Copies of this chain bind each other. A is one copy, B any other.
Amino acid sequence: MQSFELTVLGCSSATPTSTRNPTSQLLNIADRFMLVDCGEATQIQLRRFKIKFQRINHIFISHLHGDHYLGLVGLLASMHLLGRNNDLHLYAPPELQEILDVQHKHSQTFLRYKVVFHPLGFDQSELLFEDDKLTVETIILNHRIPCCGFLFKEKPRPRNILTQALEKYRIPVHVLGKIKRGDDYINEQGVTIANAEITEAPPAPRSFAYCSDTCYDESVIEKVKGVDLLYHEATFMQEMEERAKETFHSTTIDAATVAKKAAVKKLIIGHYSARYKDLDKLLAETQSVFENTVLALEGEVYSP
């Protein structure tokens, strides 16, 4: 089975607590390791959870509030000091380039590897990355400063050829690729065996949508429709609705409403305000609207 694992590295909002770090998540789809946001101490969390961070080749930064990017300069430096050679792809608001340049200039840092900078646009959703296994698109969010989420989707996989069909029809190796792509098999005698008889459908492509930071915004719903895993920030309980609106954040009910209207399979909430010691209250309130909700907790691994 192709890997599809989300590891939460930090689940706090802007002010970290003694037990919760600023936002960062590591996503592994088909052995592509991708970091989503990189709050302060992300590299320390990666170490703590024994994740080899040189395997990360793609970093996505949603916006330029410090709790979403302040761990980046330190992580890039450690990758350098530990001998990285591979290119690193960085998808981020264009202004991050200046933030990195100023710091590298004054620390006289010259990274030994190449950082390929992909500036994000915020007018409409964009395709950021595509290979044979997955795509990554932006989700336009609604926050105090330009901000976007990210939608990760597996590509449809080839059909699985049934073991018993291989034996029964003595199918030669050189036609397997075509059959996996849906072709029928025509044997040496010219007899056609229908693809449906010799293959089974592959697992459905899976998807993960990351939405932080944002106020409640109906436009997000269409974009995340039916995803397997939705991470949506829920900074506040519903009683703090006014504060949420002022600060362009979401409440538990906002997150649950997006999940429900988008008919996602599972909701993960996070980005908790430091005021909440007991996260179970946030969970219960979210579940009152969307039952299949779980808490983002540091070190936990989530799969569809």
* Residues of A that sit less than 8 Å from B by CB: 14-18, 21-22, 40-41, 43-44, 47-48, 50, 64-67, 70-71, 73-74, 77-78, 81-82, 93, 95-96, 98-99, 102-103, 106-109, 144-145
Contacts and interface: CB of A to CB of B under 8 A. Distances in A.
Contacts of A82: 15
A40 B76 CA distance: 13
Contacts of A70: 40, 70, 73-74
Contacts of A109: 66
16 contacts: A14-B77, A15-B82, A16-B43, A16-B44, A17-B47, A18-B44, A18-B50, A21-B44, A22-B74, A41-B41, A66-B74, A66-B103, A66-B107, A70-B73, A99-B103, A108-B145
Interface residues of A, dominant DSSP: loop
Q: Which of A21, A43, A95, A103 has the most CB of B within 10 A?
A: A103
A103 B93 CA distance: 13
A102 B3 CA distance: 39
Contacts of A144: 108
Given A18-B47, A78-B16, A98 B106 contact: yes
A115 to B, nearest CB: 15
A299 B58 CA distance: 35
A16 B274 CA distance: 25
A107 B44 contact: no
Contact of A14 (B16, B81, B93): B81
Contacts of A17: 47
A147 B40 CA distance: 24
Contacts of A78: 14-16
Given A43-B40, A44-B16, A70-B73, A65 B107 contact: yes
Nearest to A39: B74
Contact of A66 (B15, B50, B77): B77
A217 to B, nearest CB: 19
Contacts of A77: 14-15, 66-67
Given A40-B71, A40-B74, A145 B16 contact: no
A44 B40 contact: yes
Contacts of A47: 16-18
A48 B109 CA distance: 31
A286 to B, nearest CB: 24
A73 B50 CA distance: 27
Nearest to A65: B107
> Which 3 residue pairs spanning A and B have beta carbons closest together?
A41-B41, A18-B47, A95-B106
A38 to B, nearest CB: 11
A43 B40 CA distance: 9
B81 A73 contact: no
Given A14-B78, A41-B44, A81-B14, A98 B102 contact: yes
Nearest to A77: B66
